[in-house]
Structure 1
Amino acid sequence: HFFLPFIVIEYFVVTAWTNPNDFAALLALKSTWNNVPPNWSGSDPCGSGWDGISCINNRVVSITLASINLNGQLSSDITALSELQILDLSYNPGMTGPLPTTIGNLVKLTSLILVGCGFSGVIPSSIGSLQQLVYLSLNSNNFIGEIPPSVGMLSNLYWLDLADNKLSGSIPVSSGSIPGLDMLANTKHFHFGNNQLSGQIPPSLFSSNLSLIHLLLENNRLTGTIPSTLGLVQSLQVLRLDRNSLSGSVPLNFNNLTSLQELCVDSCTQCHCRYLANNMLNGPLPNLSGMNLLNYVDMSNNSFQAANFPSWFSSLQILTTIVMENTYVQGQLNASLFSLYQLQSVNLKNNNISAQLDIGSTQSSQLRLIDLQNNSIRSFVQRGVYSVDI
């Protein structure tokens, strides 16, 4: 009985003691980083609760040190943390240099979040070994080179964000034994905007097996046409292809994307929404009938064939904004367009809208702007006092 308290105390100390290999790894990382949290001292990070460090059964499972002005590099010492599940060093622009090629050894990692740092070099192909990864956010860094095809091996990936880097080359798709992004059937987000990606958008990137909701490819160097296979991804909600060099017509099956909420095919660099902007799209104006979740449509500044303003606009019941500058639309506007319940803004500048303008007497109470500058309107039917700028 006299020894029982001693035994209990000894057991407590043992359970609180950080795994020595993990402690050594943290000390090595600390030696290469500046501005670590002030309480990073002592020999028991798990027991004494080092800021940003989480442990399970004395093993370090999470390092979360976002926005603390951390400086330094991510050395290969990180890979000694064999139980690590979360690594988040986001918004520390002083974290620079390349990622260690051994990062693929962190096989239990579920989240690798390095947003808004200063990392550079190529993305290691070993990243494809992180089979448990759910979130991969490397956006807003200085990475160069190609997107590693091995990313296609990350079958559990939900979020893939490589935007705002200096990545180049083509979008990788599988071929034989070589993996590609088309294999990521469970991924919801492809964010690749503001890079230097080139070549065509591969038709084989898309299939009905994908569950993408965001496909963001804006401000790259992509060429060729929009593949018709894109119409197979009916889960898609946001599509950005603006500021590329795409050409040809919009696929006829585009209105299969019935979950799409915002569509912009404008080439105006100053516009609020430019989701297919700055391209050289031509052919018929896309038919968006049936895309009933659309709330923002911008098809400005492309070279579509001249056509009457589409009547199907009046069927898109939750539209808030229509922007169709320089789209060669013509003819008369139906008053029913302006009675869409949530409509706030209509911009049809620099077209050939003609005849008499009548916005009716039941226009949306949210309507604030109708811009028809540089058209061929002959007259305007005034029906009382309007709360809208015309």
Structure 2
Amino acid sequence: MTIRGTLGDDIGSLTELRILDLSSNPDLGGPLPAAIGKLVKLEELALIGCSFSGPVPSELGNLSQVKFFALNSNKLTGSIPPSLGKLSSVTWLDLADNLLTGPLPNSKDNGTGLDQLLEAVHFHFNQNKLEGLIPEYLFNSNMKLKHILFDYNRFVGPIPASIGAIPTLEVLRLNNNGFMGQVPSLKNLTKLHVVMLSNNKLNGAIPNLAGMTLLENVDMSNNSFTPSNIPSWFSNLTDIMTLTMQSVGISGQVPQELFSFRKLQHLILSDNQLNGTLDMGNNVNEGLDLVDIQNNGITSVKVYDSFKGQFLKLQGNPLCNNSLLSDTMPCTGLQTEAPRQPRIEVQCAYPFIEIIVFRAPSFGDVVQYLPELQKNLTGKLNSCTPNQLSLAHSNDGLYLNVEIKACPVNKKRFTYSQVLNCFNLTRQNYKPPEFYGPYYARARHYPFHDKASRAVLIGIVTGSVLLVVGLMLVGFYAVRQKKRAQELVSINNPFASWGSMGEDIGEAPKLKNARFFTLEELKLCTNDFREINAIGAGGYGRVYRAKLPDGQLVAIKRSKEGSMQGGLEFKTEIELLSRVHHKNLVALVGFCFEKGEKMLVYEFVSNGTLSEALYGNFFHLILLVIFGYRRCASCSFTVKL
């Protein structure tokens, strides 16, 4: 569903949840909230293929009813909390493909631990950085484990012998670690299908796998076993698909019957001490695709027409020193793979694509098994919706990846309910053929088009209608606010329209050489009318010295609050003062009438007193008005502020 962001603590309030599945949302990350531990009724927790980071909260151990617990394929760090040993109902425990460190918790060291999970069937801890010893008491015969996936970690020390006491075990992957010492007895594990012990530091005798007739994949390569003849149990592996024993110190001749086993695909015995003649017999399995006997002591080979495989690798053997054979394909390694039949892939505009990662088997040539898997999947998926299905496979170097591509029949795309009911493989509601072993699935985003999307469409239409209505309301509100603003302007500025407080002041004043100042301008040049800038006061109010931005010094007369002068009188005064110019009068620079403030801005003249200036201005103004702006002869002094 392309969910992004983080998971909040509010998730803990959903106390009735039985299933929490947020898988396949790679942009959902951040720390896992401890509040998940409050979901005590939870039975399935699937957070697969997201980007959660940080430690696994110990509070998750409170999920006593959870059966399916999968946090794999994230970026979790830190150690596995011992509290997970309290998940008494869990059957599927998957923490694989993270960055977890530290040892596996056990009850003897921590009070609680994994050894207490007697109902667990799956221990999937592969592809981490887990380390340290695995104690003997981590496993016991009362466990129901089928899968132990500890591969690609940093475990050291001996393999615990208690593993051999779990009769239900089917898959054992301990490869690519640092295990040392002798492999314990595995003879009681008669249900084993997969044994992977390669790339460790094991020594002693090669383990005896006699009686394990169900084995399909065996790999013990690159260990330091005591040199020995080829084990006799090779001849009993009748269901074997891949047998890989590279660099394990075996010698002797490969038993002929091994090549006839009906499922055998890959036989890799390179870098050993095999000798004599390689005789594959005349009943070679048709599916045998690779026989790798490089770097041994083979002196001759008998290959019959029944061998159809494309890869027989004999480089590094004495027989390749023969001039007659040195240029043959088995000795040059120049074999080319036979062309495969072109894969028919379904095509549609909106395919549903999902990847299944199989983490146990090792296939020599999976192509011959894909038709069976496709038939199996088609039967499962078509049981709920008709569709066309194609499969593609790849190998990421570790596991088999199978891509499912499904197209709906006679429809453009699948509905949400079809995808949820048919393709949701996250919680293991699909069972593949048994030899495929454990898997996990991750789905790609799908553009759904069903009731949910129609609801979205309805929501968009409804939202659009609401948006239009909302814009209309906003428009009405804006008009109303504009009208109110104009009313406020009228109250604060009597020159903008018909007067203030019910006064009719007529048109705006006709001003000459006088400007209108805003309140903010005068506040700025007087430091908000601070007392230090006051140079006088009287019944009319205060006078402040100020400096305009252009550098001109001015005196600002600010009427005090509650002044009896009305807007009409103030208009008449500034209109008259702006027209009167006389050398004995202090000139009017401008005025301010805003937010109830009435201020006159005069030029500033040094010397003299404030009272002289104001009186002189008023007296000369009256005389000039009376005598038609003629100079008064009796005014022998210059009015200065």
TM-score normalised by the chain length of structure 1 = 0.77
Counterpart mapping for 1:249-260 below 5 A: 249-251=182-184, 253-260=185-192
Residues in 2 aligned to 1:287 and 1:82: alpha-carbon distance in whole angstroms: 51
What is the aligned counterpart of 1:213 among 146, 162, 168? 146
Query: Which residue number corresponds to residue 167 of structure 2?
Result: 234
Q: Which runs of 5 or more structure 1 residues have no equivalent in the other structure?
A: 1-67, 268-278
Q: Look up the match of 2:294.
A: 373
Which of the residues 64, 75, 88 maps onto 1:142?
75
Aligned to 2:116: 183
1:292 to 213, 220, 238: 213
Letter in 2 for 1:83: E
Q: In structure 2, how many angstroms separate the alpha carbons of the residues matched to 1:176 and 1:347?
A: 42
- 8 Å contact from structure 1 (residues 314, 340) kept in 2: no
Deviation digits for residues 129-154 of structure 1 (CA, Å, limit 9, x no counterpart): 11110111111112111111111111
Q: 1:345 aligns with which of 251, 266, 272?
A: 266
- In the superposition, relative to structure 1, how do residues 96 and 176 fare at CA in structure 2: closer, same or farther (>3 Å)? closer
Q: CA RMSD in A?
A: 1.5
Tell me the number of residue pairs that the alignment of Structure 1 and Structure 2 aligns.
311
CA distances 1:112-138 after superposition (whole Å, capped 9, x unpaired): 111111111211111111111011111
The alpha-carbon distance between structure 1 residues 74 and 360, as it changes in their structure 2 partners (threshold 3 A), is same
- Secondary structure of the residue that 1:337 maps to in structure 2? helix
* 1:161 matched residue in structure 2: 94
How big is the shift at 1:331? 0.8
Structure-1 separation of matches of 2:196 and 2:111: 34
Matching of residue 357 in structure 1 with residue 278 in structure 2: yes
Measured after TM superposition, the shift of residue 224 of structure 1 is 0.3
Q: Structure 2: which amino acid aligns with 1:315? A: N
Does residue 1:312 correspond to 2:233, yes or no?
A: yes
Give the structure 2 partner of residue 151 of structure 1: 84
Relative to structure 1, the CA distance from residue 311 to residue 132 in structure 2 (aligned partners, 3 Å threshold; closer, same or farther) is same
Name 2:35's counterpart in structure 1.
Answer: 102
Deviation at 1:324, TM superposition (A): 1.2
1:81-92 matched pairs, under 5 angstroms: 81-92=14-25
Aligned identity (percent) is 47
SS at match of 1:282: strand
Q: Aligned partner of 2:168: which letter?
A: S
Q: Which has the higher contact order (CA 8 A, sep 6+)?
A: 1
- In 2: Cα distance, 1:165 partner to 1:292 partner: 34
Matches of 2:32 and 2:198, distance apart in 1: 37
Q: Deviations over 1:347-390 (max 9, x none)?
A: 11111111122111122232222211111111123444531343
Cα distance in structure 2, aligned partners of 1:196 and 1:383: 47
Helix, strand or coil at the partner of 2:107 = coil
The 2-side partners of 1:173 and 1:218 are apart by 19
Larger C-alpha radius of gyration, 1 or 2?
2
TM-fit CA distance, 1:228: 0.7
Pair 1:321 & 2:253 matched = no
Indicate if the aligned counterparts of 1:220 and 1:244 stay in contact, CA closer than 8 A.
yes
* Whole-angstrom CA distance in 1 between matches of 2:88 and 2:237: 36
Report SS of the residue matched to 1:160: strand
| C-alpha deviation, 1:216, in angstroms | 0.9
Q: What secondary structure sits across from 1:254 in the alignment?
A: coil
Please give the alpha-carbon distance, in whole angstroms, between the structure 2 residues aligned to 1:361 and 1:185: 49
Query: Which of 263, 266, 276 is residue 198 of structure 2 equivalent to?
Result: 266
Tell me how far apart the structure 1 counterparts of residues 233 and 55 of structure 2 sit (CA, whole Å).
47
Deviations 1:310-345 (A, max 9, x none): 121111211111111111110112212222222222
Between 373-382 and 282-291, the greater mean CA deviation after superposition:
373-382
Query: CA deviation digits over 1:213-232, x for unaligned, max 9?
Result: 11111121111010111101
1:301 correspondence with 2:234: no
Q: 1:175 to 1:385 in 2, by over 3 A?
A: closer
Kindly indicate whether the alpha-carbon contact (under 8 Å) linking 2:282 and 2:306 is maintained by their aligned counterparts in 1. no
1:74 aligns with 2:1: no
- Give, as a single letter, the amino acid of the residue that structure 2 aligns with 1:231: G
Could you tell me which amino acid in structure 1 is paired with residue 275 of structure 2?
A: S
CA contact under 8 A between 1:114 and 1:137: conserved in structure 2?
yes
Unaligned runs of 5+ in 2: 313-641
Q: 1:124 aligns with which of 57, 63, 85?
A: 57
Q: Contact 2:10–2:35 at 8 Å: present in 1 too?
A: no
What code does the residue aligned with 1:99 have?
Answer: L
Where 1:166 maps in the other structure, the secondary structure is: coil
AA at the equivalent of 1:327: V
Aligned match for 1:201, one of 112, 116, 134 = 134
Q: C-alpha deviations, 1:37-82, integer Å up to 9, x for none?
A: xxxxxxxxxxxxxxxxxxxxxxxxxxxxxxx110121111111111
Give secondary structure in 1 for the equivalent of 2:37. helix
C-alpha distance 366-286 of structure 1, shift in aligned 2 (>3 A):
same
Instruction: Judging by fraction of residues, say which structure has more helix.
Output: 2
Instruction: Assess, with a 3 A threshold, how the Cα gap between structure 1 residues 176 and 246 changes in structure 2: closer, same or farther.
Output: closer
Contact 1:285/1:305 (8 A) holds in 2? yes
For the 8 Å contact 2:82–2:110, the answer to whether it is kept is: no
Distance 2:255 2:15 in 1: 65
The separation in 2 between residues aligned to 1:361 and 1:92, in whole angstroms, is 53
1:117–1:141 Cα contact (<8 Å) kept: yes
How far 1:163 sits from its partner (Å)? 0.9
- Change over 3 Å in CA distance of 1:85–1:351 after alignment to 2: same
Letter in 2 for 1:282: N
The normalised TM-score by structure 2 is: 0.47
Report the Cα distance in structure 1 between the residues aligned to 2:76 and 2:109, rounded to whole angstroms. 27
Q: Distance in 2 between matches of 1:264 and 1:81?
A: 42
Deviates more, 1:188-197 or 1:94-103: 94-103
